Structure formats: C-alpha cells, structure tokens
Amino acid sequence: MKQENVCTACEEKLGTPEQEARLKALIEECKSTPGCLMHILQEAQGIYGYLPMQVQKTIAEGLGISLSEVYGVVTFYSQFSLTPKGKNRISVCLGTACYVKGSDKILAEVEKELGIKCGECTEDGLFSIDSCRCVGACGLAPVMMVGEEVYGKLTPDMVHGILEQHREENK
C-alpha cells in the first residue's frame, strides 16, 4: 500500500513524488531569473491545484527567500488559492449589479445544494465555490460561472439544474 506523503507537523498532504519532483525542477530551472517568484507560484498552482503551506516552504527554501515573502505574495493576489479547488470551480458574482439583483441568494442556494461554504471544496472534489466582484456580464445579473461557462439572469431555483448538468457531465 502506498503511503501518503504527509507533513507530521502540520498534517498537510505534500502531494505525489511526481508533483514534488516537478516543483523542484521548476525552482531549479527558474531560480537564477530575477523576479521569478510569480511564475513559480503560477506553475506550482498548476501542478498542485492550489498552494499548500508545504509547497510555499519548498519554494521559499529553493529560492533562498523567507516563507513570509512567499506567503505575502500568495495571499495578496486573488489568483492564488490556499485551499484545494474542485473539478468544477463555481464563482458567484457579488459585484454591485449582481448583488442588487440577488446574487447573495444564488450563493446561499449553491452552498445549500453542495453542503459547503464559499471557499470550500466538496469531499468528492467535484465542486468548489468562490465569490468574485465582477465577471463583466452586468447586463446578465445575477451571474455565476462554472469553469468558463457563464450563467446569467439566475434565480435560486435554477441552481439545482445547473449543478445537476455538471454532475452528469462528470460521470
């Protein structure tokens, strides 16, 4: 039986040996390039799907910089995630136009349907929920995205059907 690579101090999964090898090769390849941190973080998130603390520690050590510097960049930019994301990433717009038209009720319905809160991922890894400030589709308010697909003029009773469609596509 394959043992999971787990940090006993923080009980955080470190990923597969293949992921770790890719990350270390990436750091080695890029570390002599000034300003490479953003690129490495983007690629690392592509490898792992998010940026767990152990990945940030590995990057900091590999670049010879502090963990706080890496963490500061990760938490400053909204493109980076500290938690795993689902195969179907849901983003509910809470920008002004969408919020006025009831996007808070859409978000509440998505959370209820999936049994998770904003920022979390379902146990099966199929869905994760986030909110955003604007997707640039104000005329379709309220709006939610599943992956790159935009759903507009939503009502809470439409949420179930949209989620079912994505469940079916992932069978």
Would you say 154 and 142 are in contact if contact means Cβ atoms under 8 Å apart? yes
Say whether both 41 and 111 belong to one domain: no
- Using DSSP's 3-state secondary structure scheme, residue 151 falls into strand
pLDDT in tens, 65-82: 999 999 999 999 988 999
pLDDT at 91: 96
Domain boundary among the residues 17, 48, 76 is at: 76
pTM score > 0.75 for this model?
Answer: no
Say whether both 38 and 96 belong to one domain: no
φ, ψ at 153 (rounded to 5°): 55, 45
Cα–Cα nearest to 150, from 108, 102, 92: 92
Q: What is the pLDDT along the chain (171 residues), one digit of tens a residue?
A: 333 443 333 345 568 999 999 999 999 999 999 999 999 999 999 999 899 999 999 999 999 999 999 999 999 998 899 988 899 999 999 999 999 999 999 999 999 999 999 999 999 999 999 999 998 999 999 999 999 999 999 999 999 999 999 999 988
Say whether both 35 and 69 belong to one domain: yes
What's the number of domains the chain is made of? 2
pLDDT in tens, 102-129: 999 999 999 999 999 999 999 999 999 9
